[in-house]
Amino acid sequence: MSTIVRASHIDKAISWDRGSQLFRIGFVQSISARSMVVTVQSGDVRLPYVRGDYSVGEFVAIVADPRGWWVSGPVDVGDIPESDKPSGVNSFLPQTKISARQKPLSNLKPPDPPKQRTVPISATWTGTFRGAEWRTDTRDLYQGDLSGKGLNTGVAFFGLKIVGLRADTSKPCSITLSYKRLLAGDPDGISVTWWTVSETAPVLGAPPTRLNSQSGPLVAAGRTGEMVLNSTLCDQLLEGDAHGLAIHIASNSPYAQVEGSSIKLIVTYFPHP
């Protein structure tokens, strides 16, 4: 480990006679395997250094000995009184100019903007709430009522998967929902009504909290439906106000069944920088 050179050491070094070691202060611009570029007042020099832990942007002690000038270690400049800091350093150092100086921040190329991403997301849990409980006989989603046991509300929960994407909602984002309608109900085309729900998972004995809705396309039994969620539903899912999608209507028909395992979201978004 390198020795931290404090004020008392520097004072002593400056007072030594010519031919003995002298300490000067430099600012590290860059580091390579055997040398580093150090700024001393207004000039840059490349100097070898003794083994130690160094970082760009820190102050170091520069030592003169019979072999020449060396960087001897980091310096805790906070312990050096302003009046004790050495001056006129350039006259003691070789006047070697280094062209590869660290560029000012104003000249650095800005980072590339985030690229648009597309990711498929499947549900973490699917099922149907009816009456006062979650059905245990199915993991599919139902809407309406065929048996007279009460209205069905089918739900697909996504947990924290969508909000975990950290989408930048100030830029264009979209969510496409894909699902397969099964044979229950009218075999002809039926429009399923989709709602956003606020819960991340089913709550025992409680129906999902429905927020906003959007009618889906007409889908015949056994066929796959696809729809792009409107901006309201999309923003609620991306911003974490909603964590699931439900199918529900306030009447017995149209009665419909959606295969739980078929539900997929295709999310296209820009991540936060």
| Per-residue pLDDT tens digits for 31-53 | 888 888 888 766 778 888 888 88
The answer as to whether 1 is a domain residue is: no
- Please give the tally of structural domains in the chain: 2
Q: Are residues 90 and 122 in the same domain?
A: no
Model pLDDT, residue 124: 96
Model pLDDT, residue 53: 84
| Per-residue pLDDT tens digits for 156-208 | 999 999 988 888 888 889 999 999 999 988 899 999 999 999 999 999 999 99
Q: Give the CATH number for residue 52.
A: 2.40.50.140
Model pLDDT, residue 14: 35
Model pLDDT, residue 98: 39
pTM: 0.60
| Per-residue pLDDT tens digits for 204-239 | 999 999 999 999 999 999 999 999 999 999 999 999
Residues whose CB falls within 8 Å of the CB of residue 120, separated by 6 or more in sequence, listed in order: 264, 265, 266, 267
Nearest CA to 229 among 179, 265, 181?
265
Q: Give the CATH number for residue 166.
A: 2.60.120
Model pLDDT, residue 19: 44
Q: Are residues 92 and 65 in the same domain?
A: yes
Position 270 pLDDT exceeds 60: yes
The answer as to whether 109 is a domain residue is: no
Residues of the domain holding 258:
117-269
Q: Which two tokens stand for residue 40?
A: 């001393």
| Per-residue pLDDT tens digits for 243-259 | 999 999 999 999 999 99
Q: Are residues 121 and 238 in the same domain?
A: yes
Q: Are residues 211 and 91 in the same domain?
A: no
Q: Are residues 173 and 264 in the same domain?
A: yes
Residues above pLDDT 90, as percent of the chain:
51
